[in-house]
Amino acid sequence: MNLASDFSRLKVAVAQFPAVNDIAANKKYIHDLTLQAVADGVELLVFPEAAMCSFGSDLPTLREIARQHSPGFIAFMQGLARSHQMNIIVGVLSLSDDPAEERVTNQLLVINAQGEVIVRYTKLHVYDAFNFKESDKVKPGDIKSDGSELGLFKIKDFTIGLVNCYDLRFPELSRALAVKGADVISVSAAWIAGPYKENHWEILLRARAIENTSYVLASGQTATRCVGNSMIIDPMGSVLAGCADQPGLAVHVLEKNRLRQVRSILPCLENRRF
């Protein structure tokens, strides 16, 4: 049985590069990394948060980029997914649907192999920490009574939940995704470099995998502004594949049997009391 027809196995990749306000340069990185993933037979490719522009830009710049480039960038990503029959997760910044809202929205899009946007997850926890104030520029997503604010989708036998950068520091979000059925948590980030930050990135990613007995896919932007260090993590917390600080790709095959094995010997989700 080949991989494409085996629904219990999923070949995934996490990509990393430094996004700038030169949209064409970002597209070149994305195009080249996508071709590399195609050559590796990848079925799900994860790109970083805000992959279309420089996340640290001021609000007028972000608004202008969102207005001018967001629709075309999304269409470009849809074309890549459709052309290569690949599922893609990518971070974009867009204008708010509310005309009175000056701030942009920070979203993760899931694009299926037919080029359709099937999920738009709006970042819930904006990065107001380490002397940064994302809420000045980005409107956080709203919490809904029905839980529809969560980003969840299925590929083959795998249910995948979305986490956007600073969301990673709030374990209740990843747990909510796991309770809703996620056995893979996909994290897209522009994890800003600084003291302690690279340690926090890896420790938190591995903790989310261990406590939820889930695979974690982590894609982050690279230096000079961000830490890179994208990785794929086993449900027991081991790093299965990863990148260092340069643009590139890490690839691994997720196994449904591995998830069942881990959840059998470590039934955290069944044993929880809260």
Q: Which residues are catalytic?
A: 49, 123, 165
**Gap between the Cα atoms of 65 and 45, Å rounded:** 24
Amino acid at 19: A
Residues in the chain: 274
**Which element (helix H / strand E) includes 215?**
strand 215-220
| CA dist 212 → 46, 218, 236, 242 (Å) | 20, 15, 9, 20
Contact between 178 and 207 under an 8 Å Cβ cutoff? The reply is no
Within 23-58, residue ranges assigned H as helices are 23-39
**Gap between the Cα atoms of 19 and 28, Å rounded:** 11
**Beta-carbon neighbour count of residue 56 at 10 Å?**
16
| CA dist 203 → 13, 57, 160, 235 (Å) | 20, 28, 21, 14
Question: Two tokens at 101?
Answer: 């809202």
At residue 14, φ and ψ (nearest 5 deg) are -115, 135
Within 131-214, residue ranges assigned H as helices are 171-179, 197-212
Contact between 44 and 12 under an 8 Å Cβ cutoff? The reply is yes
